[in-house]
Amino acid sequence: MKSNIRIGALISGTGTNLKAILKACRQGKIDGRVVFIGSDNPEAAGLQMGRQAGIATFVVDYRSIERRYRSNPDHVEIPSDFQLDDICRKQNLFPEDADPGKVAIFLASRAIAEGQLLRKMQAYPFDLLVCAGFMRVLTPYFIDRVNTDPDHPRIMNIHPALLPAFPGTDGYADTFRYGSKIAGCTVHFIDYGEDTGPIIAQRAFPIRDEDTLDSVKMKGLALEWELFPECIQLFAQGRIRLERRSFETQEGDRFERKVVTILPTE
C-alpha cells in the first residue's frame, strides 16, 4: 500500500490535465503531490501554472536539440550509456521495414533530449511519472531508466481516444473524422510502442449528429479531468496490478499480454 506519492509531470501545452491533477491533490482526491513539472516546450502554458503553485519546473527544448543534431550529428553529445542496438531492438515505435538510418537518427536525437530530461528529473525523486499532454513518444532508453521493475511500471499517459483505436497525436479529431459513434479517453502505462501499453481505465461518450470537433474535444477533456486523477489515486492506493495473461485462439495459437486489474479497496 502506497500513500502520499510523489508525482512527476511532463507536459507540452496548455496543461488542463495538470490543472485537474493539482486540484485533485489539493482536495485530497489524490494522496500525493506534484514534485516537478517538466516540458519539451519552452512555451508550454502549463509551466506557468506550476510556477504559481511553487512547484519546480524545467524545460528540455526537444525541437532545438533535434535541429542541432540533424544539422551536425558529430558535434552533439549522445549520452554515454545510450546503446543504439539495444534501443533499436526493443523499440516498437517503427515497423520492422522502416528505414534503419532514419530510425537511428530519430532514436539518437531523442536519447540526447531524454538524457537531459533524466538528468533534470534526478533532482526530484518521484514514485509516478504522468504524461499530462506530453506530445513526445518516450524511447526504451528513457523508459528503462524510470521503470526499473518491469512488473511495476510507473509512467502513466492520458490519451484522447479509446485505444487501441486512434493512437498518435490527434485522437479526438481522428475519432471524429472517421465517423465513429463513440469517442473517449484512455489512461494507460507507457511501454515501448506508441500508445500500446497496458490500459488502466477508459471512459466513453456518444458522438451525436449535432456534435462538432470542438464539442467532442470539450466533452472528451472533461472526462480526462476526472479519469486521470482517479487512475493516479488508484496507483497511490497500490490498487493497480499488472498481470501476465495468456490467451488461446480457436486455432490453438497462444499469446501473452500484460493486463491491468484493479484491486478492491481494503
The 8-class DSSP code of residue 196 comes to -
Determine contact, residues 11/134, Cβ cutoff 8 Å: yes
Determine contact, residues 167/188, Cβ cutoff 8 Å: no
Q: Would you count residue 188 as binding ligand GAR (CB under 6 A)?
A: no
The residue among 189 and 237 lying less far from ligand GAR, judged by its C-beta, is 189
Among 159, 207, 223, 236, binds ligand GAR (CB under 6 A): 159
Among 21, 132, 183, 216, binds ligand GAR (CB under 6 A): 132
Among 6, 14, 31, 90, binds ligand GAR (CB under 6 A): 14
How many CB atoms within 10 Å of residue 169? Answer: 14
Least spacing, CB of residue 246 vs ligand GAR, in Å: 29
- Stretch of 47-55, 71-79, 132-140, 175-183 lying at the interface with ligand GAR (CB under 6 A): 132-140
Say how far apart CA 50 and CA 37 lie, in whole Å: 7
Q: Which of residues 224-253 bind ligand GAR (CB under 6 A)?
A: 224
Q: How many residues touch ligand GAR (CB under 6 A)? A: 16
Contacts of 41 (CB under 8 A, 6+ apart): 12, 13, 59, 61, 62, 63
- Stretch of 53-61, 130-138, 144-152, 208-216 lying at the interface with ligand GAR (CB under 6 A): 130-138
- Say whether 188 is catalytic: no
Say how far apart CA 220 and CA 13 lie, in whole Å: 17
Straight-line distance from the first to the last Cα atom of the chain, in angstroms, rounded to the nearest whole number: 10
Contact residues: ligand GAR, CB under 6 A: 11, 13-17, 132-133, 135, 158-160, 169, 171, 221, 224
